[in-house]
């Protein structure tokens, strides 16, 4: 027959824990200084041991205290949340990739007073327009200069497409539009000028006849108005004779 006997076990407590807050922590080491002895747990034994080493140094022959090993806890990696594209985002993307609207274009017919061709074209471009030779869907204005009535193609394009006309034959009209940064139509569209075999319009031909007549017997011919029939006939005869002489010489 077995008999169970209970034997009391003595437990040594840390004096430092009892002195600090009255808690009970089992002692594992003993600190002895002369006639006095203290029972200490592992934590307080290491703490008081460092105090003595700092004050007195390490005793000869004592093993070096191992460096504490830092324990690095792994940082949890969070998975990225899935991106759900909303309908609004999809619409924004579609708008971003949409093609830009074409730049409005302008036709230039004739010469602008006070500007050469390159300067007039650059002024129109700096105002935000393209310069085209034939009208297309982006053409918004026809700028009419001196001699522009001879360009029947551009006048016909403007008439068929309903493109407004801006008449800049009067001095300063084009410059004012450039300074204002805005070209506005609204002027009447002229009919294409009739051009003879020499390539001159009626207006240019009359100017040439008047200049010839003043040098050949009609010094008082008025600058404006209808050119008299006898003057026209004399001009044609003179130039007809010159043409026939050149042909005979050839």
Task: Give the tens place of pLDDT for each residue, 117-128.
Answer: 889 999 999 989
Reported in sequence order, the residue ranges of the chain that DSSP labels E, i.e. its strands, are: 29-33, 36-40, 105-109, 130-132, 139-144, 165-167
Give the containing element (helix H, strand E) for 138: none
pLDDT bracket for residue 27 (50, 70, 90) = confident
The answer to whether residue 71 scores a pLDDT higher than 80 is: no
92-101 pLDDT, tens digit each? 545 555 667 7
pTM attached to this predicted model:
0.42
Task: Residue 228: name the closest of 208, 202, 210 by CA.
Answer: 210
Residue 124's pLDDT is 92
Residue 129 vs residue 222, higher pLDDT: 129
Return the DSSP state at 22: S
Residue 250's pLDDT is 45
Q: Which residue in the block uniquely carries the two structure tokens 């830092």? A: 70
The count of residues in the chain is 250
Is there a contact between 143 and 124 (Cβ–Cβ < 8 Å)?
A: yes
Return the DSSP state at 68: P
Give me the residue spans of the domains in the chain.
15-56, 105-180, 202-249
Angle between helices 173-180 and 117-126 (to 10 degrees): 30
Task: Measure Cα distances from 100 to 96, 97, 103, 105 in Å.
Answer: 10, 9, 9, 15
Residue 48 vs residue 172, higher pLDDT: 172
Partnered with residue 38 across adjacent β-strands are: 31
Is there a contact between 120 and 173 (Cβ–Cβ < 8 Å)?
A: no
The answer to whether residue 18 scores a pLDDT higher than 70 is: yes
The CATH number given to 105-180 is 3.40.50.10190
Residue 60 vs residue 107, higher pLDDT: 107
Q: What is the mean pLDDT of the chain?
A: 78
Distance, in Å, from the CA atom of 212 to the CA atom of 92, rounded to the nearest integer, reads 70
Residue 178 vs residue 81, higher pLDDT: 178
Distance, in Å, from the CA atom of 56 to the CA atom of 66, rounded to the nearest integer, reads 19
pLDDT bracket for residue 34 (50, 70, 90) = confident
Tokens representing 40 are 């200490």
Best-predicted range by mean pLDDT among 59-73, 83-97, 120-134, 221-235?
A: 120-134
1-17 pLDDT, tens digit each? 566 656 566 778 888 87
Residue 174's pLDDT is 94
Lowest model confidence (mean pLDDT) among 32-46, 84-98, 207-221 = 84-98
What residues contact 221, with CB distance under 8 A and at least 6 apart? Answer: 210, 213, 214, 227, 228, 231
């Amino acid at each position: 027959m077995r008999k169970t006997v209970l034997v009391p076990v003595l437990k040594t407590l840390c004096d430092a824990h009892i002195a600090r807050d009255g808690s009970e922590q089992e002692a594992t080491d003993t600190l002895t200084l002369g006639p006095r002895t203290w029972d200490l747990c592992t934590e307080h034994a290491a703490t008081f041991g460092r105090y003595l080493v700092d004050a007195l140094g390490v005793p000869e022959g004592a093993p070096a205290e191992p460096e504490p090993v830092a324990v690095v806890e792994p940082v949890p990696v969070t998975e990225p949340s899935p991106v759900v594209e909303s309908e609004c985002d999809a619409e924004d993307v579609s708008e971003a990739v949409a093609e830009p609207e074409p730049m409005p274009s302008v036709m230039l017919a004739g010469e602008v007073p006070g500007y050469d061709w390159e300067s007039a074209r650059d002024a129109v471009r700096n105002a935000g327009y393209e310069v085209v030779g034939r009208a297309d869907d982006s053409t918004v204005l026809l700028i009419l200069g001196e001699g522009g009535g001879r360009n029947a193609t551009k006048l016909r394009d403007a008439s068929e497409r309903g493109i407004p006309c801006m008449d800049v034959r009067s001095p300063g009209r084009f410059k004012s539009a450039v300074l204002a940064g805005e070209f506005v139509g609204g002027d009447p569209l002229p009919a294409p000028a009739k051009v003879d075999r020499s390539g001159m319009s009626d207006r240019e031909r009359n100017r040439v006849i008047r200049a010839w007549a003043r040098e050949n017997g009609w010094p008082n011919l008025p600058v404006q108005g209808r050119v008299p029939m006898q003057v026209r006939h004399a001009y044609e005869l003179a130039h007809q004779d010159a043409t026939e002489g050149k042909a005979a010489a050839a």
